[in-house]
C-alpha cells in the first residue's frame, strides 16, 4: 500500500488583498507561516512521510519547506503542480478584474482561454500528465510508503478528479482550506480517499 498526503499551502498575501492569485507569486502571510508550522507538527505526529513534492510557487514551496524542516523529508520542486494559469487575471484585485475582464456571456466554457488563461481542459490535462508520471515513477515501483504533495486549491481539485477517474468535464468539486490535508491510499485492490480537507491542526490559531 502507498499513502499520499495532499496538502494545500497556507494563507497568502493575495487572500488578504482579495486578489486573483493563480500564477501570481504571492508569499505566505504571517498567519500562513503559523498555519504551515502547526500543519507540519500534525503531519509529523500522525502521518510522517518520506518525500515532499511541491509546486514551485512561493506560497506552496514555503509551506513545503516548513513541513520538510519539521518532518525531515526532502522537498522536490515540481512546476506541474502550480495553480491554474490565470493569464491576465493574475495579481489583479477582483473588483478591477471584473471591470477589465468581465466573464463571457453564459460563463466560461471548458475550452475557453478567456483573458489568456489556461482552459479547464488544459488544466485537467496538466494534472493528468503529472498524475501519470507520478504513478509510474513512485507508485508502481513502490519507491516510498508515504509521499506528500503540496499544491493549490484548483490543482488539488484536478488531482482529485484524476485520482477518482472522473470525466474531464465534471461538475464535482473538492474544497480545500488553508493547509487542508487529504489522505489517499493506493493498493492492488484499488484507490481510497481516507479523509478530505482535515483542518483540526488549525483549531488553536
Residue 162: strand, helix, or coil: helix
Write out pLDDT tens, residues 20-34.
999 999 999 999 999
Whole-angstrom Cα distance, residue 148 to residue 44? 12
Averaged over 79-105, what is the pLDDT? Answer: 95
Q: Indicate the pLDDT class of residue 185, thresholds 50, 70 and 90.
A: very high
Check pLDDT > 90 for residue 104: no
Check pLDDT > 90 for residue 139: no
Q: What is the DSSP letter of 28?
A: B
Whichever domain contains 146, its CATH number is: 3.40.50.1240
152 a catalytic residue: no
Least confidently predicted of 63-77, 93-107, 172-186:
93-107
CB proximity list for 81: less than 8 A, separation 6 or greater: 53, 54, 55, 56, 60, 130, 149, 150, 151, 152, 155
By residue range, what is the domain housing residue 48? 2-202
Helix (H), strand (E) counts: the chain: 6, 6
Q: Which of 3, 21, 78, 83 is catalytic?
A: 83
Q: Which of 9, 20, 49, 201 is catalytic?
A: 9
Domains: count for the chain: 1
Averaged over 104-118, what is the pLDDT? Answer: 92
83 a catalytic residue: yes
| Residue 169: CB atoms within 10 Å | 11
Write out pLDDT tens, residues 40-71.
999 999 999 999 999 999 999 999 999 999 99
Residue 169: per-residue pLDDT? 86
Amino acid at each position: 500500500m502507498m499513502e499520499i498526503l495532499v496538502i494545500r499551502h497556507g494563507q497568502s498575501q493575495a487572500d488578504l488583498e482579495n486578489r486573483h492569485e493563480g500564477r501570481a507569486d504571492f508569499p505566505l502571510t504571517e498567519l500562513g507561516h503559523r498555519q504551515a508550522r502547526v500543519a507540519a507538527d500534525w503531519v509529523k505526529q500522525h502521518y510522517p512521510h518520506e518525500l515532499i513534492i511541491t509546486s514551485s510557487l512561493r506560497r506552496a514551496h514555503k509551506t513545503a519547506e516548513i513541513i520538510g524542516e519539521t518532518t525531515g523529508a526532502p522537498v522536490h520542486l515540481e512546476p506541474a503542480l502550480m495553480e491554474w494559469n490565470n493569464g491576465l487575471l493574475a495579481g489583479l484585485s477582483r473588483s478591477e478584474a471584473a471591470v477589465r475582464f468581465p466573464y463571457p456571456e453564459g460563463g466560461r466554457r471548458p475550452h475557453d482561454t478567456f483573458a489568456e488563461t489556461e482552459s479547464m481542459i488544459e488544466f485537467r490535462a496538466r494534472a493528468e500528465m503529472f498524475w501519470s508520471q507520478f504513478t509510474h515513477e513512485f507508485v508502481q515501483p513502490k519507491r516510498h510508503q508515504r509521499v506528500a504533495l503540496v499544491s493549490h486549491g484548483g490543482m488539488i481539485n484536478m488531482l482529485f478528479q484524476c485520482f477518482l477517474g472522473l470525466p474531464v468535464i465534471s461538475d464535482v468539486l473538492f474544497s480545500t482550506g488553508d493547509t487542508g490535508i487529504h489522505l489517499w491510499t493506493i493498493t492492488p485492490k484499488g484507490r481510497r480517499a481516507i479523509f478530505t480537507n482535515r483542518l483540526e491542526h488549525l483549531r488553536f490559531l
